[in-house]
Chain A
Amino acid sequence: MGFIFDKNTWQEIFGSIGKNKTRTIITVIGVLWGIFIYIALSGSAKGLDNGFEKAFETVAMNSMFVWAQSTSMPYEGFKTGRQLQLKMGDVTVLENRVPEIQSIAPRNAKGVFGDAPALVVNGQKSGNYAIYGDFPVFTKIATKKIYDGGRFINDDDIEQTRKVCVIGERTQNELFEKDEDPIGAYIRVDNIYFQIVGIHKFTPGGGFETDGDIYIPFTTYRKLYNTGDNVGWLTIAAYDDADVVQAEADVKAVLKSIHKVNPDDERAFGSFNLGEVFNRIMGFAKGMTFLSLVVGIATILAGVIGIGNILLISVKERTKELGVRRALGATPSEVKNQIILESVFLTVIAGIMGIILGAATLSLINSFTEGGDFPYANPTVPIPYVLGALAIMVVLGTLIGLIPAQRAVSIKPIDALREE
């Protein structure tokens, strides 16, 4: 293999590939295009993947919402169409009976599902906003970003039924002056004064929440709106390794048994499984990655075959030259090595240029989509993939180079020389 590092070998190779520059360039473009497609596609797929992940980063990937509806089947003496209501007691039972549950946050809300939002007043300014009654554990399921100087609802707030609230950015803009610090200030929510303890930053990520939402302690909400033990809906996070679909079924089964609902009643409890949706989206992203891999490699293959094809023509054109070289003392293996090296060299050069071009394109796309709504972030191709692609190209370049190389030495020098 020493000939690879021999300067003379390379001088010969540069000499022969340099003699037909147009053809060399077109050949190189074939493979360059292949690797470019591969890099651009798999990078984009990765970007999409990252984008989805980013969009979901504020919500636990394996979380779900469960709410009560009305029964559609009679059971144990209850008639059809009975309106169900989740209770605080359900939470403890669920925690005890469904091992997949990591955390469970009961929530109540006003002004979200069709009912009138609360009137919120600060001095001369007022507005209508949705009010949520929450437990601190909610932040474990859906991250809430709180601006510096503020906090979310804590356990003491719940225990002491404090009249504190976390307001949204929009609420702040609408109810306060620009230079006013709302933390510590009081606002009137449905005629009760609440002290503001925090401002949450709104992160779009689907769901029904907005940037104007006001969070208050669950216990305070209960008193304010007289909801007793009622719970609007449950937000549940399963453990990372748990099967979310199974957890969802388990939760519903337990709820049915608590509320004496026919186990086969599909409509009694509604649920939205973020985990399942997430899995589907990630599955899509994975599919994209796989597809881009297949398409990319197929394109590379096409490019490499193109190189083989061109070299085959080139060998045919150079029959006489190769004959002369052999008459002057080139051994068949020297001729072969030269042609294979030409093939590999062209492939690798094209590959490296394609990788650079692909990376440049990816960074260009990234700079265009940055900050937009499109789920696309940080498109990268892992280094092992890049090296893998290069390795594939060296191997393919060698294999494809073998064909013209074999052909070059299959002609006897005497026949090669005779050819006019």
Chain B
Amino acid sequence: MIEIKDLHKSYKMGSNSLHVLKGINFKAEAGELVAIMGSSGSGKSTLLNILGMLDEADSGEYTLDGVPIKNLNETKAAKYRNKFLGFIFQSFNLINYKSALENVALPLYYQRIPRKERLAKSMKYLEMVGLKEWSHHLPNELSGGQKQRVAIARAMVGEPKVLLADELTGALDSTTSYEVMDLIQKINDQGNTILVVTHENDIAHMCKRIIHLKDGVIEKDEKVKQVRASQYV
């Protein structure tokens, strides 16, 4: 599903440049649930941004579902993001003047799906994350866990190839985190490919595979025995 080869990325900070990714190689198959772990500054967010086409690598190859991702202009990147990727952010990033339902429907708007169809489909995904009754509430009327579940529904609604989650439990307490992870695991059980960036060990161990990043290189890539989040809920 995802294949990257010898990925390099450096940032220019004034006169000196910061080499963040120093040749990353990895492959993720369809249906995997991968955690990318590392301390801050290890390059995990940069990697995720490149995978999410929000940022471009200096060199290296990136293939997503057989499509080589290179030489993207903003418009093309936007279309690919819309078609291939679902984003889940640490700070939820819901649009605060739109109801939960409208937030979920936003990716479909950019796919030019008619409003009725859009809302019906969004409702289905809200139901999946268990927030059907909250569909007309604004984000500030929802709890953190509910917000993240709305964000997950939003990431899922476009039926992307890969879900990218950046510290999705970072702003949540542990109980809520486990609830969210339970949801992620269930989504993964249905065969969706999910990449989770986290620095929390327990969250990482709820995935099926952990990639440890350190100073811009993969330190360790291990398959782990998945801890089901449902047992904590």
Please report A residues at the B interface, Cβ cutoff 8 Å.
Answer: 7-8, 11-12, 15-16, 18-19, 320-321, 323-334, 409, 412-414, 417, 420
Q: A333 vs B73: C-alpha distance in the bound complex, in angstroms? A: 12
Given contacts A8-B109, A409-B74, A414-B49, contact A328 B54 (CB under 8 A): no
- Within the complex, the shortest CB–CB distance from B6 to chain A, in Å, comes to 22
- Of A7, A329, A420, which one neighbours B78 at CB under 8 angstroms? A329
Cβ–Cβ < 8 Å partners of B143 in chain A: none
Kindly list 10 other residue pairs between chains A and B, CB separation below 8 angstroms, not including A324-B93, A327-B93, A329-B83: A7-B115, A8-B109, A15-B97, A321-B95, A323-B93, A324-B95, A327-B54, A327-B87, A331-B75, A409-B74
In the bound complex, CA of A328 to CA of B85 (Å): 8
The minimal Cβ–Cβ distance linking B77 to chain A, given in whole angstroms, is 8
Q: Is the beta-carbon distance between B93 and A330 smaller than 8 angstroms?
A: no
- Distance from A292 Cβ to chain B, minimum over Cβ atoms (Å): 40
Q: Assess whether B74 is in contact with A332, with CB atoms less than 8 Å apart.
A: yes
B81 contacts A328, C-beta separation under 8 Å? yes
B52 near A325 (CB under 8 angstroms)? no
Are A414 and B75 neighbours in the complex by a CB distance under 8 Å? no
In chain B, positions 73-121 with a C-beta closer than 8 Å to chain A are 74-75, 78-79, 81-83, 87, 89, 91, 93-98, 102, 106-107, 109-112, 114-115
What residues of B have a CB within 8 angstroms of the CB of A329 in the complex? 78-79, 81-83, 107, 110-111, 158
- How many Å lie between the Cα of A320 and that of B90 in the bound state? 13
In the complex, residue of chain A having the shortest beta-carbon distance to the beta carbon of B75: A331
A207 CB to closest chain B CB (Å) equals 68
Min Cβ gap B146→A in Å is 18
> In the assembly, what is the distance between CA of A18 and CA of B115, in Å?
19
> Cβ of B202 < 8 Å from any Cβ of A?
no
A323: chain B residues at CB < 8 Å are 93
Q: Smallest CB-CB separation from B157: which chain A residue?
A: A328
Residues of B at the A interface (CB closer than 8 Å) are: 49, 52, 54-55, 74-75, 78-79, 81-83, 87, 89, 91, 93-98, 102, 106-107, 109-112, 114-115, 154, 158
B93 engages A417 (CB within 8 Å): yes
Taking a contact as CB atoms under 8 Å apart, the answer to whether A12 and B109 are in contact is yes
Nearest-CB distance from A338 to chain B (Å)?
Answer: 11
User: A334, A414, A420: which has the most chain B beta carbons within 10 Å?
Assistant: A414
Residues of chain A lying within 8 A (CB to CB) of residue B54: 327, 412-414, 417
**How far does the alpha carbon of A8 sit from the alpha carbon of B118 in the complex, in Å?**
11
Q: B79–A331 contact, CB under 8 A?
A: yes
Does A19 contact B97, Cβ atoms closer than 8 Å? yes
User: Which B residues touch A11, using CB under 8 A?
Assistant: 115
Give bound CA distance, A417 to B114, whole Å.
Answer: 27
Contact A15 B49 (CB under 8 A): no
Q: How many Å lie between the Cα of A11 and that of B109 in the bound state? A: 10
Q: Taking each of A12, A18, A327, A412, which has the highest tally of chain B beta carbons within 10 Å of its own beta carbon?
A: A327
Which residues of chain A come closer than 8 Å to B111, judged between CB atoms?
329
CB-based nearest B residue for A414? B54
List of B residues within 8 angstroms of A334 by Cβ? 78, 110
Contact B158 A18 (CB under 8 A): no
With contacts A8-B115, A413-B54 taken as known, whether A326 is within 8 angstroms of B78 at the C-beta atoms is yes
Closest chain A residue to B55, Cβ basis: A414
User: Nearest CB to that of A324 among chain B residues?
Assistant: B93
**Chain A proximity of B109: nearest CB distance (Å):** 6
Name, among A8, A12, A328, A412, the residue most crowded by chain B CB atoms within 10 Å (CB to CB): A328
Cα distance A8–B89 when bound, in Å?
A: 26
Could you list 24 examples of A-B contacts with CB < 8 Å? A8-B114, A8-B115, A15-B98, A18-B97, A321-B95, A325-B106, A326-B78, A326-B81, A327-B52, A327-B54, A328-B82, A328-B87, A328-B107, A328-B110, A329-B83, A329-B107, A329-B111, A330-B78, A332-B74, A409-B74, A412-B54, A414-B49, A414-B55, A417-B89
Q: How far does the Cβ of B168 sit from chain A's closest Cβ, in whole Å?
A: 14
Once bound together, how far apart are the Cα atoms of A328 and B108, in whole Å?
9
Say yes or no: A332 contacts B110, CB within 8 Å: no
- Which residue of A has the minimal Cβ distance to B110? A329
In the complex formed, the residue of B with least CB distance to A322 is B95
- The distance in angstroms between the C-alpha atoms of A15 and B81, with both chains bound, is 23
Give the complex CA separation of A8 and B83 in angstroms: 19
B residues within 8 A CB of A330? 78, 110
Q: How far is the CB of A18 from chain B (nearest CB, A)?
A: 7
| Min C-beta distance of B129 to chain A, whole Å | 17
Separation of A414 and B98 alpha carbons in the complex (Å) = 22
B206 to chain A, nearest CB (A): 24
Contact of B87 with A331 in the complex, beta carbons under 8 Å: no
Assembled-state Cα–Cα distance A44/B70 (Å):
63
Contacting residues, chain A, for B89 (C-beta < 8 A): 324, 417
Which residue, of B49, B95, B97, B102, has the highest number of chain A Cβ atoms within 10 A? Answer: B95
Which residues of chain A come closer than 8 Å to B112, judged between CB atoms?
A: 8
